[in-house]
Structure 1
Amino acid sequence: MQSEVPKSMLTEERRRWIVAELEREGKVVACELSRVLEVSEDTIRRDLRELAAEGRVQRVHGGALPAPRISANYAVRATQSTSTKTTLARAAATLVRPSNVVLVDGGTTNVEIMRHLAPDLHATVVTNSPPVAVALADHPHIEVIVLGGRMFKSSRATVDAVTLEGVRGVRADLCFLGVCSVHPETGVSTFDFSEAHIKRAMVASSAEVVAVALCEKLGTAAPYVVGPLTELTQLVTEASVSDEALAPYQAAGVTVLRA
């Protein structure tokens, strides 16, 4: 921990300091916080518990990681970072090859990828996302298979046992995984338990797995783990992300494409 530690902090001041330290370092360790802040580990655990309840951190064993700042409202997410999503989508769309069978998860970025597939591309898209299917409705050469089930409204994707059975019946060349969080240590994670099961099945059913992630999702963790970082084949992210930040992903064998 590099930053200066003020003395005699009030509870809220201490918690703001912890969040700032988390943003600087990428993680915090409870025993180290206890030593530096000169408070008990019980106090630190209580701080982290309250910060997690506010969505400001994601607790893990022994400390905390950054929590993704993602709106629960799909319509709101669809209007955020639109130009960046378009740039990433154009790059990701080039990964689809003729005759590929592609599993496409829910998410506003994945919808944008589908809008940028080449008009002369012949492929099959299997998706649990009605918005993805609608985005391809007028594509002249892409066959679209929509997986049924109960729709999780936050992601506008189907997520129940019917969906899971459908995913397991596919052997895809490529998967565009909807990403809430991706972290070098905790891997890919999401906010919903049922979604995590569907995402795991998509990974298991695909030869290659692509995560397209804005920089705000990198280095963060959500409550439900989809799988380790090594499950990803490629990561498509913003050109502004530093070499240092991407080094752990590359070290895990993930091919990084910056756009």
Structure 2
Amino acid sequence: MLAAQRKDHLLDLLARDGRVVAKAVADELGVSEDAIRRDLRELAEEGKLQRVYGGALPIPEPERPVRDRHGLATESKERVARAAVARIRPGATIVLDAGTTTLAMARLLPSGAGITVITPSPVVALSVAEHSDARVVMIGGELTRHSLVTGGGLAMEAIQHLAADVFFLGVTGVDPLHGLTTGELDDAVTKRALASRCTETVVLASEEKVGAAARFPVLPFEAITAIITDPLDANPIVERLAALISARE
């Protein structure tokens, strides 16, 4: 098979499966892994895919502004949010990350439970105040207009003085191979800082997040307590994620 044919095959695989595993393709085509890696490198240089360890992924789409994400997988996010709220113990101090699933959680928080909510998101903070009697602690800092979350030096300084029971973490992608990822570097840094100040970190993974991958890693699976997925999500990756978490127990 000519190099041009191999490249077309690689792009077809990427479109069909959402990923390319170099060893598997090499075995399938009866060529060396070096040849496949060379093809992937050239395709990456042409801007047609993103090389990762062991293969390739599609070029990640730019992170959508938060206002454009409200209509994505709305019912799935609601189911994940309900499952997450059910984990909150009375009197707990929790951190709600910025994002549309945590915004759904904010609308579902119970009153009379003595909960304290810490958040870097003004939108989430206002929703918590509107829908519950929870105490609200805002993390100050510079507001990123794209994601509507505070960050930067002031936020990092404030985070170092906080402590919480559970961090409900929102990410762009949750994938067994590529881990927990997000599309903004500064957001990834803020998320790691928040996780370091919490006893537990719980990942929120509605259906459009499962199997997706973005450019910047957030945390390894070893650093999280649980992943909450949509109970109606039939994606086989959900079972692989559950196995990853249960294998540590």
Shorter chain as denominator, the TM-score bin is 0.7 to 0.9
Cα deviation, residue 123, structure 1: 0.8
User: What is the match of residue 43 of structure 1?
Assistant: 39
User: What is the match of residue 193 of structure 1?
Assistant: 185
1:174-220: CA deviation from partner (whole Å, max 9, x where unpaired): 11111111222332111111111111111111111111112221223
Cα deviation, residue 35, structure 1: 6.2
Give distance in 2, aligned partners of 1:43 and 1:73.
Answer: 34
Normalising to structure 1: TM-score of the pair?
Answer: 0.81
**Cα RMSD over matched residues?**
2.9
Q: 1:110 aligns with which of 102, 114, 123?
A: 102
Q: 1:153 to 1:33 in 2, by over 3 A?
A: farther
SS of alignment partner, residue 14 of structure 1: helix
User: What is the match of residue 13 of structure 2?
Assistant: 18
SS of alignment partner, residue 43 of structure 1: helix
Q: 1:235 aligns with which of 216, 223, 227?
A: 227
Q: 1:82 aligns with which of 71, 74, 77?
A: 74
Q: Determine if the alignment matches structure 1 residue 247 to structure 2 residue 242.
A: no
Letter in 1 for 2:163: R
Give distance in 2, aligned partners of 1:211 and 1:254.
Answer: 15
Q: Determine if the alignment matches structure 1 residue 28 to structure 2 residue 23.
A: no
User: What is the match of residue 154 of structure 1?
Assistant: 146
After superposition, residues 90-169 of structure 1 pair within 5 angstroms as 90-169=82-161
Cα deviation, residue 245, structure 1: 2.3
1:136-164: CA deviation from partner (whole Å, max 9, x where unpaired): 12245211111111122222101211111
Cα deviation, residue 240, structure 1: 3.2
SS of alignment partner, residue 216 of structure 1: coil
Contact 1:235 1:254 in 2 (8 A): no
1:30-50: CA deviation from partner (whole Å, max 9, x where unpaired): 355456456944233222444
1:75-131: CA deviation from partner (whole Å, max 9, x where unpaired): 110122222222221221111111111111111111111101113332111110011
Q: Share of identical aligned residues, percent?
A: 30
SS of alignment partner, residue 217 of structure 1: coil
Give distance in 1, aligned partners of 2:89 and 2:114.
Answer: 8
SS of alignment partner, residue 138 of structure 1: helix
Number of residue-to-residue matches in the alignment: 243
User: What is the match of residue 223 of structure 1?
Assistant: 215
> Which ranges of structure 1 fall in alignment gaps of 5 or more residues?
1-5
User: What is the match of residue 182 of structure 1?
Assistant: 174
> Which ranges of structure 2 fall in alignment gaps of 5 or more residues?
none
Contact 1:34 1:44 in 2 (8 A): no
Give distance in 2, aligned partners of 1:225 and 1:244.
Answer: 22
Q: 4+ residue runs of structure 1 moved beyond 4 angstroms?
A: 6-13, 34-39, 66-71
Normalising to structure 2: TM-score of the pair?
Answer: 0.84
Q: 1:73 to 1:10 in 2, by over 3 A?
A: farther
Cα deviation, residue 70, structure 1: 7.2
Give distance in 2, aligned partners of 1:70 and 1:77.
Answer: 12
Give distance in 2, aligned partners of 1:8 and 1:224.
Answer: 31
Contact 2:6 2:39 in 1 (8 A): no
Q: 1:59 to 1:216 in 2, by over 3 A?
A: farther
Q: 1:171 to 1:254 in 2, by over 3 A?
A: farther
